[in-house]
């Protein structure tokens, strides 16, 4: 059972055509959704070898504000490894150390708005430092 962090109601499992009716490629994927809060989260791809039936959430349910913050956090943070300043793994290790988190806890999908803003700030500072 997945609970909404905003209202504590049970989230419901839906397919992508409910969340993204205009994106047919997502129609078969699963999402957890809380309609009253306009909050949802996608699920990891199905992998029965590891006991994942396709309903394991990628992170926490996110409302519009948090989805926007996560998206912006990825825009800045992903540049660090996409532009070759570090491998993806090294970038996450750096971010975890800067945020005082373990590597396992350092996942933008798990962050709240405040932590996403911290990711944005740290990533911007890093990127500005490599340009200087």
Q: How many CB atoms lie within 10 A of CB 84?
A: 7
The pTM score is 0.87
The pLDDT of residue 132: 56
pLDDT band for position 131 (cuts 50, 70, 90) = confident
Per-residue pLDDT tens digits for 82-110? 999 999 999 999 999 999 999 999 999 99
What is the average pLDDT across 1-12? 96
The pLDDT of residue 103: 93
Per-residue pLDDT tens digits for 19-64? 999 999 999 999 999 999 999 999 998 887 767 889 999 999 999 9
Q: Higher-confidence residue: 132 or 73?
A: 73
Residue 116 predicted with pLDDT over 80: yes
Of 3-12, 44-53, 116-125, the range with the lowest mean pLDDT is 44-53
What is the average pLDDT across 109-132? 93
């Amino acid at each position: 059972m997945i609970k909404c962090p905003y209202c504590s109601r049970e989230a419901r499992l839906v397919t992508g055509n409910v969340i993204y009716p205009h994106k047919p490629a997502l129609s078969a994927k699963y999402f957890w959704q809380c309609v009253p809060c306009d909050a949802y989260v996608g699920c990891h791809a199905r992998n029965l070898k590891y006991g994942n039936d396709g309903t394991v959430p990628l992170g926490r349910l996110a409302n519009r504000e948090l989805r926007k913050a996560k998206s912006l956090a990825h825009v800045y943070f992903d540049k660090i490894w996409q532009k070759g300043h570090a491998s993806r793994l090294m970038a996450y290790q750096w971010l975890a150390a800067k945020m005082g988190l373990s590597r396992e806890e350092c996942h933008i999908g798990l962050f709240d708005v405040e932590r996403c803003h911290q990711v944005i700030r740290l990533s911007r500072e890093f990127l500005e430092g490599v340009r200087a």
